Amino acid sequence: MSAWQSLPADHPPEVAHFVEQLRLLKDRTGLSLVALGERTAYSKSSWHRYLNATQPPPRQAVVALCRVAGTDAERFCVRWELAVRAWPRTVAPAPAGVPVAGGEGANGATDGGKYEGAYEDVPTVPWWDLLAEAPEPESAPARASWAASHRLLLYALVLVLVLLLTAVVGAVTLA
């Protein structure tokens, strides 16, 4: 087994348990971090951060490690969910157009503290779900921008459906 660094004392028990289980799973493979990086889509330095609890791993990284180790990924993904929810969060600078915790975002909207301490890239929730949950802006210019972006998304969806319908009709006509 590898000699691992001790985990930060300020991490919740769910995080410590998950990382310890992840370490045991990695040790069971007998692979070095370099070899593990070669067999998965994640680099040696990424695995180092995940296995030393400095950054939560993406769900796909956990699944990849389970695949390499020949272990049931579902059980580890349940532990991952619990750990990510309890993982200590640091406030990252919000990207342009995303509401800032408890304040006003670039589009003038407030979120009432909903995103306080959220990761810039939350591994458990797709970015489109975060946007769908965001409240409609209250100021007129921000509301117009919000409506325009939703209208553009609707146009793109209609265009995809029209192209799909055209392809089906063309295939049926030529057959």
Q: pLDDT by residue (tens digit) across 46-77?
A: 999 999 888 899 989 999 999 999 988 888 88
Taking the alpha carbons at both ends of the chain, their separation in whole angstroms is 62
pTM of the predicted model, to two decimals?
0.51
- Are the C-beta atoms of residues 93 and 121 closer than 8 Å to each other? no
3-state secondary structure of 122: coil
DSSP 66-106: HHHHT--HHHHHHHHHHHHHHS---PPPPPTTSPPTTSB-T
Q: What are residue 104's DSSP bridge partners?
A: 110
Asked if residue 160 has pLDDT above 90, the reply is yes
Asked if residue 85 has pLDDT above 90, the reply is no
Residue 146: what pLDDT? Answer: 64
Residue with the bigger pLDDT between 141 and 129: it is 141
